[in-house]
Amino acid sequence: MGRTVRHLFIAGCVLLWLIPLYLLVVNALTPAAEYTGKPEWTVQGFDLVENLRTAWNVAGIGDSFQASLLYAVVCGLAAVLIAAMAAFAVVVLPIPRPAFWFWLIYSGTLFPLQMFLAPLFGLYADANLYDTRLGLMLIYAAWAVPFAFFLIRNQMTTMPPELTEAALIDGASFRRIFWRIHVPLMKAGLAAAFIFQFTAVWNDLLLGITLSRSPDVQPVMAALTTLNNAYSSTGPPVILAGALIVSAPTLLLFLVFRGLFLRGVTASAR
């Protein structure tokens, strides 16, 4: 009985997730000129290619898509690398008060992002970083470090200290121990942290609309809100086609690397 209820609950959750996705796809297929103003539950035409072309080229999603891809990949990799080095320092290096440094770095996840927006906007305006790709890359990388640090540090604490001790006895430096021992053994955890940070940066809206305005600088989520305002006269099909474009990278990333992601999350949760 308990297993049946659990399966029914899971099936209900899956159905609640699939219904909006179904409506998204069906209405993105509808020709914009034939849209009635109400959500369609059945396919009324097939004009997806034209809707995608309008969203990508005419509405400018393409420029923001490329910008977001740059932010998500570069900032995700930078954050994971910095977080791995910080975790190595806290767990392996003989630094004083490692718990203090752990909480200092991890505290970056404890405060709401909204409280930083006003000082960030003023700082970026004074430093000429507002509406620049460099400015967004700096804040995205810094924002992504604390949670990546938490994941990687948790996995690193499960590694036996005898590995480091044996390497030190053999004359290896801490730099060599990090790159030759810890990084290869933590590939799954590093990959999971990167997927998390890629998704977080890709899905960001708040920083994007606060610190940028140009189409070639704005992240894709901010551009999608602009598409909703500027192209509302074309009807939802074009906007929904833009939503399909925006959803594709993270969906593909999870589908392709789901096995590596699950192994990394499992290792970090031990």
Q: Write the pLDDT tens digit of every residue in 120-168.
A: 889 998 999 999 999 999 999 999 999 999 989 988 888 888 888 888 8
Identify the residue with better confidence: 204 or 254: 204
* Sequence-ordered strand ranges (E) for 103-221: none
Query: What's the topology of domain 58-268?
Result: MetI-like fold (1.10.3720)
CA distance 134 to 146: 20
Q: What is the pLDDT of residue 36?
A: 66
Contacts of 110-119 spanning 24+ positions with Cβ under 8 A: 113/143, 113/206, 113/207, 114/206, 117/206, 117/207, 117/210
Give φ, ψ of 62 to 5 degrees.
-60, -45
Tell me the per-residue pLDDT of 48-102, one tens digit each, with 9 for 90 and over. 777 778 777 766 688 888 999 999 999 999 999 999 999 999 998 888 998 899 9
Sorted by where each begins, the domain ranges of the chain are 1-46, 58-268
% the chain with pLDDT above 70: 86
CA distance 257 to 92: 29
Q: How confident is the model at residue 25 (pLDDT cuts 50, 70, 90)?
A: confident
Which residues have C-beta within 8 Å of that of residue 78, sequence separation ≥ 6?
A: 141
